[in-house]
Amino acid sequence: MRSVNLRLLISIVALLALALAACADEPDEPEAPDEVDEVDEDEPVDDLGLAQEGVIVVGSDIDFPPFEFIEDGEIQGFDVDLMEEIAARLGLEVEWVDTGFDALISQLAADEFDALIAAMTITEERAETIAFSDPYFEATQALVVGPDSDITGVGDLAGMSVGAQDGTTGEAYAEENFTDSTITSFPSYPAAFGALEADQIDAVLADLPAAAEQEARSDLVVTEVIDTDEVYGIGVQQDNEALLAAINDTLAEIIADGTYADIYSTWFEGDVPPRFAD
Ligand code: ARG
């Protein structure tokens, strides 16, 4: 009796073990698909480290056509359109803060805004203080002179005075390379171009797109293009990885779906550089 019971018990235990093993082997119940995490234009993204929900405060030096400037009482330009598009796709409103170019980086680092866009060239030195998005524009420098100038290029700059905006790559390039010239810094590029028009200086070194815009708006002339191989980036605070990733992802989308090309052709002639073409 006893032995039969024991055998029965062993059988039951064995069966149970088998059943358990079968259970464990059974494929998992198919799970309901995860909610797709799509960016909804109307839903503010709230994990981007923004001070104010639904708003991205963006610093710029809004005096650099055709990237950012005020005309007819309205802030406009290539950077403005691009930033507004990025923000809209993240469900955010842009609140613009206008400040001096030279102050942008320290003010962003001091949390006075969430991001900056200012036709700002990505440089190693700047990237020590703030983080830059992927490049969104390619630029070079250009030398601008008056209509009757004898200066035909950088070879004629000895003894001349050259203007640039404070804190820019143009100013740095001039100081480094035009060592026989006097470099004068201005708070804005329009101020530098104004001084050139008033014959107070002999030339201005500025980013080519801004120099070309100035040529179109006045009788100043672009006399030489200097290939400095610069790219612009959007700046964010160094520890705000979420915002940086959101900006980069959205920028890539804007390039891929041709919106970049649309914005580009609003402000510039010619082909969209290959890296920004869809
Ligand atoms: N790309 C140049 C730089 O980063 C000039 C930018 C000037 N931008 C402006 N908004 N004033 O230094």
Tokens at 81, concatenated: 């359109």
Q: pTM for this one? A: 0.84
Burial degree of 105 (CB within 10 A; 0-12, 13-18, 19+): buried
Span from the CA of 121 to the centroid of ligand 1 (angstroms): 7
Closest CA to 99 of 40, 130, 66, 58: 58
Q: How does the average pLDDT of the chain come out, rounded? A: 89
> How many other C-beta atoms can be found within 10 angstroms of the C-beta atom of residue 215?
16
Tokens at 92, concatenated: 């955010």
Q: Ligand 1 site: residues with CB under 6 angstroms?
A: 61, 64, 68, 101, 118-121, 165, 168-169, 189, 207
pLDDT confidence of residue 9 = 46
The pLDDT tens digits for 199-244 are: 999 999 999 999 999 999 999 999 999 999 999 999 999 999 999 9
Strand partners, 205: 143
How sure is the predictor about 51, in pLDDT bands with cuts at 50, 70 and 90? confident
Span from the CA of 160 to the centroid of ligand 1 (angstroms): 23
pLDDT confidence of residue 15 = 45
Span from the CA of 61 to the centroid of ligand 1 (angstroms): 8
The C-alpha atoms of residue 262 and residue 251 are separated, in whole angstroms, by 13
Residue 62 dihedral angles phi and psi, to the nearest 5° = -85, 65
